[in-house]
Structure 1
Amino acid sequence: MAKKKNASKNKSNPNSKGTSSKEVKQQANQPVKAESKKYNFLIRTIWTFVMIAGFFATLASGHIYCILLITLCQVFAFKEIIAVTGASGSEKNLPLTKTLNWYFLVTILYYLDGKTLFIFFHDFLFDHPLLSSIVSHHKIICYFMYLLGIVFFVCTLRKGFLKFQFGSFCITHVVLLLIVFQAHLIIKNVISGLFWFLVPCGLVIINDIFAYLCGITFGRTRLIEISPKKTLEGFVGAWFFTAIGSIILTRLLLPFDYLKCPVQDINTNFFSNLTCDLNPVFLAQQYKLPPMVFDAFGLSIVTIRPIYFHVLNLATFASLFAPFGGFFASGLKRTFKVKDFGDSIPGHGGITDRIDCQFIMGSFTNLYFETFISENRITVETVISTILMNFDDKQILELMTSLATLLFKKGSIKENSFKKLTKLLTEVNK
């Protein structure tokens, strides 16, 4: 009887052999967690290749599609950060809070990027008097659009919610500064040439990959408290490999004029036969070496393209400063206790999680380009666009008369042609 009782106890009590119920649950959950990790890894890998393929397809499609991609990224990033950093206005019976956020976004987008893109569509815009007038008065229209947003904001203020409403207003404008303004500078990089868009993006990705690889290989010293997995060894090692990667990436891209030429026709794509007078940084130049090098190696002159020196500077920034855009985003997520900014990309989180370093890298690239590389070229297209956006019809005719007179005095126009042209312009001006 005693044996039977003990046997029945052993059957009814699974813990009789020293295995607790907690350990049984853990053992049961281990296969589930393993399967979940495999699934997440598979999804993450698939979407990584989807993003890579989509990025290069966008590059090949042309400048306008790259600009559209940047615009979509900044809109999604704005949406994700606003959603993370503030409670929903609708939950506080303040439905216009979200509407005002989007209104300010549209206003700033139109102000920053509108006039930049007008130059590519001036033929269409100035065929319609209303559109032409809108373009000519771009700044004053944007000013009143923003002012209207301020008026709506003040009208929606409610007692008891003032702290939340002004907090939301401040957050919106900080995000506009950090996201939209920097994205505007990246769009300017695209217009200056896709090389200045692709290389910074590539350098950030290379740095991120090698920071991870160097960190898990020989990382020992924590770099920053807010990101415990980031190590000093990974940070420095990534700098070294990013510098090498910048040289290799530049060498691979140099044969393609499509990437090096500034945009002239918004409809240009990879298969267009795009040619231009290249910026001197892409052309080989001779550099005289110091006597010390000549004595050691017998070399007095070396021929190299200056672009290699410039991309090394960009690689240094991508390694030492751009990662702090990611650290800033990590701190923001920890502040509001969220793992990711969203779930827009399966396996990767939100758009902001993938491009948090790209904004600061893109804005620096634009500043660097304008400071050290840009030739500030004035083309016929830019002059015509400037005239159309700032002069009325009478002023344009006066300009044409002045130009005709100047060309006649220089001898470029014969007297008979000058008289006919002057007569025609005078009649039109009447």
Structure 2
Amino acid sequence: MTKPKKDVKFNHRERRMSNKSSMSDINYDSPTDERSPTRSNGAKSPTRNGTLHKERSIKEEENERPSFERTDTTASGWATENEDEKPQVKEPSEFEKKKQTFITRAIWTFVMIGIFFGSMFAGHIYIIIIVTAVQIISFKEVIAISNVPSRARSLRFTKTLNWYFLGSTMYFLYGESVIYYFKHIVLIDRVLLPFATHHRFISFMLYVIGFVFFVGSLQKGHYKFQFTQFAWTHMALYLIVVQAHFIMNNIFEGMIWFFLPVSLVIINDIFAYVCGITFGRTQLIKISPKKTVEGFVGAWICTIIIGFFFTNLLMRSRYFICPVNDLGANIFTGLECDVNPVFIAQTFHIPFIPHTWTFLPTHITVAPMQFHILAMATFASLIAPFGGFFASGLKRTFNIKDFGDSIPGHGGMTDRMDCQFIMGFFAFMYYQSFIAVHKASVGGVIETAITGLSPEEQMAVVKGLAQHLYNQGAVSSKVVEFLGENLQSALKKR
């Protein structure tokens, strides 16, 4: 007779089941009883299988966990899977965000000031590089506003044409400046002479090539968009590149004509903010709600007063008032030139003071530049801010806060230069109309001789100048004889 085996598995199940009950143990037919009669004696349920047994074991283990483990819960009181795995990261408060923005803005403000003054004192060529970089970045930011739809439409050559027109325009404008201010160098160089004499024609043909390429790239169904891009590019070229070209010319005429307009705009912007928050009440223009009439007028008065004394300081340095005749000069080496009469103090009679008022002066000694600064400060205060208003309207049209993020904490380069472009343009026109002294230059004489005289006539000019220099004692008779013999032999060979 065989010995019966012990049912170990059954006893294990019964012991486990006796510890905890599950949802299936409840007798729904008898709500007053805690357990169903069929389950009270520990009988095996006919519907139980391996899978259900495994699920119940997992649920029982979860029920046996200490309640303090569930700390992260949702609104319903149960912890989510992501909350169990990843702790919540506390976002910075609004005060901390503003603090970080202020710190970033302050750091980059000092960085820009350092770069600007370092370049200006290092020499004219460095400040020219800065202006060139500014106009390229500004052009890129303005064009980027309308370049998003072109990517969506997958139009080819749209961006390429924008940069091509920028390059051809800069070639024309920079060439004009180089030829005008350095013709005594360019026109005597054998390689550069053809480019100088035919510069405008070459520039025109470069533009025509871009124009033809644009017409050839037109695609059916996108005509309106492509012509809009064409007009947008030319608007950016005029408002940014052309005006930046005149700022470049201001540098060549003298550092003061570049630095002074830039400083007046910055001074006006600072005092417009100070006066606005101090006693500003009346809104100036709807497109820029924070601008007030009181701040606008107060900044005008402060800009005139500070500009008057600031100009007096700059006039004492020839590095600022002399035109560029040496691109290697810096603040330490300085420049030498015949000073423009506008910087020389003169005595003026005050006509509206009666002679009987002896307690008031009837004459004043001041440099004419101090009068000109009144006009420039007035333009920087009353007209230049409308360049900023124009930029604000443009940003509102495209529903953007800034033109870009080229300068951390400050937005885009265009946001900082919106008033500077029109102010630099005005400074050049005002200088050429009321201040510049127009006289013959070495470059002008050479240009006239090269373009207007035949080779024989040019040789005659050289002989005549040599004879004149000999009569003045500047050269010896050997120089005159040498030039006469060699020029005569050159004429015979022709």
TM-score, normalised relative to structure 1: 0.87
Deviation at 1:416, TM superposition (A): 8.6
CA change 1:62–1:93 in 2 (3 A) is same
Equivalence for 1:55: 116
Distance in 1 of aligned mates of 2:457 and 2:190: 20
CA change 1:247–1:158 in 2 (3 A) is same
Distance in 2 of aligned mates of 1:138 and 1:85: 32
Distance in 2 of aligned mates of 1:115 and 1:291: 46
Amino acid at match of 2:377: A
Distance in 2 of aligned mates of 1:13 and 1:88: 43
Q: Given the alignment of the two structures, is residue 412 of structure 1 paired with residue 474 of structure 2, yes or no?
A: no
Deviation at 1:124, TM superposition (A): 7.2
CA change 1:286–1:122 in 2 (3 A) is closer
Deviation at 1:322, TM superposition (A): 0.1
Amino acid at match of 1:236: V
Deviation at 1:412, TM superposition (A): 3.1
Instruction: Determine if contact 1:257/1:274 at 8 Å carries over to the other structure.
Output: yes
Equivalence for 1:400: 459
Amino acid at match of 2:136: V
1:89-145 CA-partner distances (Å, limit 9, x unpaired):
233121201100100011011101113124666687568644332222211111110
Amino acid at match of 2:378: T
Match of 1:345 among 407, 411, 416: 407
Distance in 2 of aligned mates of 1:119 and 1:271: 27
CA change 1:275–1:415 in 2 (3 A) is closer
Equivalence for 1:322: 384
Distance in 1 of aligned mates of 2:374 and 2:74: 68
Q: Given the alignment of the two structures, is residue 355 of structure 1 paired with residue 421 of structure 2, yes or no?
A: no
Distance in 2 of aligned mates of 1:409 and 1:378: 18
Deviation at 1:356, TM superposition (A): 0.4
Equivalence for 2:104: 43
For these two proteins, the number of residue pairs brought into alignment is 405
Match of 2:141 among 71, 80, 88: 80
Segments of 5+ residues of structure 1 without an aligned counterpart are 1-10, 15-27
Distance in 2 of aligned mates of 1:293 and 1:38: 59
Distance in 1 of aligned mates of 2:376 and 2:182: 32
Match of 1:212 among 262, 266, 273: 273
Distance in 2 of aligned mates of 1:13 and 1:156: 58
CA change 1:123–1:289 in 2 (3 A) is closer
CA change 1:233–1:156 in 2 (3 A) is same
**SS state of the match for residue 230, structure 1?**
strand
Deviation at 1:421, TM superposition (A): 2.9
Equivalence for 2:315: 254
Q: Given the alignment of the two structures, is residue 427 of structure 1 paired with residue 489 of structure 2, yes or no?
A: yes
Equivalence for 2:332: 271
1:185-243 CA-partner distances (Å, limit 9, x unpaired):
11111111000000000000010011111111111111111111111111111101111
Amino acid at match of 1:206: I
Equivalence for 1:71: 132
Deviation at 1:67, TM superposition (A): 1.4
Instruction: Determine if contact 2:321/2:339 at 8 Å carries over to the other structure.
Output: yes
**SS state of the match for residue 264, structure 2?**
helix
Distance in 1 of aligned mates of 2:267 and 2:406: 23
After superposition, where does 1:190-339 map in structure 2 within 5 Å? 190-290=251-351, 292-296=353-357, 297-339=359-401
CA change 1:196–1:287 in 2 (3 A) is same
Distance in 1 of aligned mates of 2:399 and 2:392: 10
Instruction: Determine if contact 2:470/2:480 at 8 Å carries over to the other structure.
Output: no
CA change 1:309–1:396 in 2 (3 A) is farther
Deviation at 1:255, TM superposition (A): 1.6
Amino acid at match of 2:100: Y
Based on CA coordinates, which of the two structures has the bigger radius of gyration? 2
Deviation at 1:184, TM superposition (A): 0.8
Amino acid at match of 2:388: G
Distance in 2 of aligned mates of 1:313 and 1:105: 33
Higher helix share: 1
**SS state of the match for residue 316, structure 2?**
coil
Distance in 2 of aligned mates of 1:298 and 1:238: 29
Task: Tell me how large the CA RMSD over aligned residues is.
Answer: 2.8
Which is bigger in relative contact order (C-alpha 8 A, separation at least 6)?
1
**SS state of the match for residue 41, structure 1?**
helix
Instruction: Determine if contact 2:120/2:126 at 8 Å carries over to the other structure.
Output: yes
Deviation at 1:293, TM superposition (A): 4.7
Amino acid at match of 2:247: I
Equivalence for 2:17: none
